[in-house]
Amino acid sequence: MEQKTPPAITTSNLCLWYGNFQALKSVTLNIGHGIITSLIGPSGCGKTTLLRCLNRINERFENVRTEGEIKILGKNIYDPDVSLIELRKSVGMVFQRPNPLPISIYENVVFGLRLHMERSELNKSLLDGIVEKSLADVGLWADLKDRLDDKATHLQLEQQQKLCIARLLPLKPEVILMDEPCSALDIEGTRAIEELMFDLKGRYTVVIVTHNMAQARRASDECIFMLLGEMIEHSRTEDLFLTPRYEKTAEYIEGRYG
């Protein structure tokens, strides 16, 4: 019998409070390797909070308290021996608005390597190869190979967002988190980022927060519907949209609220 691959991400009874407000309530789920999973639900339902738990970025905020367990590739990320630096290398994040550093395109791509590796380990030949591969992996190399010294903030928004993804790749993440990565983009930019997500899946586990139901339906393999801090339904995208198991899910995807 073929052995089933363990999930890339699991949460067990995950709860989170901002002060006295409970934003997540006993969230238990499994996210598979190498697929795109969308977190959907109305504003304030907890989907961005859940996403930010996966690399513990919520801990940057005051008065945050977390209970429960999150395992990524079998390791509980709340274990005392977990390094936040190493965790955030393994679990990269892309934000709503592109946030390239106000330095050259080249230096944006190698920024993480310069932080995490000894200078003696980095030579120009190595960095040049990494820049080319990372930009090629996000579809930017052909357009930018002669502009590597240009300031990254001068790029079009779509290119900036792709560059932010390229900046993650040299650190060899296992998981890429995307918090509404297309919200600042036009239709063409959105299509380009979705095509990039398809190219990345298989090599990376991608988890995306989106308010766009059409995007969730066309761009994800599985969907997780959240409401008032709870996970209501998690299934294959096609099943969730065509035959939702719960009335609350049906009401949301049919636009009856939220």
Domain 9-253 sits in CATH 3.30.465.10: no
pLDDT of residue 61: 85
User: Do the Cβ atoms of 229 and 45 come closer than 8 Å?
Assistant: yes
Strand pairing partners for 66? 16
- Classify strands 91-94 and 75-76 as parallel, antiparallel or unpaired: unpaired
Among residues 98, 50, 22, 43, which one has the least CA distance to residue 207? Answer: 50
pLDDT tens digits, 218-250: 999 999 999 999 999 999 999 999 999 999 999
Position 3 scores a pLDDT of 44
What integer pLDDT is reported at residue 4 of this predicted model? 65
Residue showing tokens 């063409």: 188
Strand partners, 14: 27
Q: Where are the domains of the chain?
A: 9-253
- pLDDT beyond 60 at 2: no
- For residue 247, give both structure tokens: 């009335």
Grade residue 255 by pLDDT with cuts at 50, 70 and 90: confident
- Give the other-Cβ count within 10 Å of 4's Cβ: 7
- In whole numbers, what is the pLDDT of the chain averaged over residues? 93
Nearest to 163, CA basis, from 186, 131, 188, 195: 131
Q: Tell me the pTM.
A: 0.93
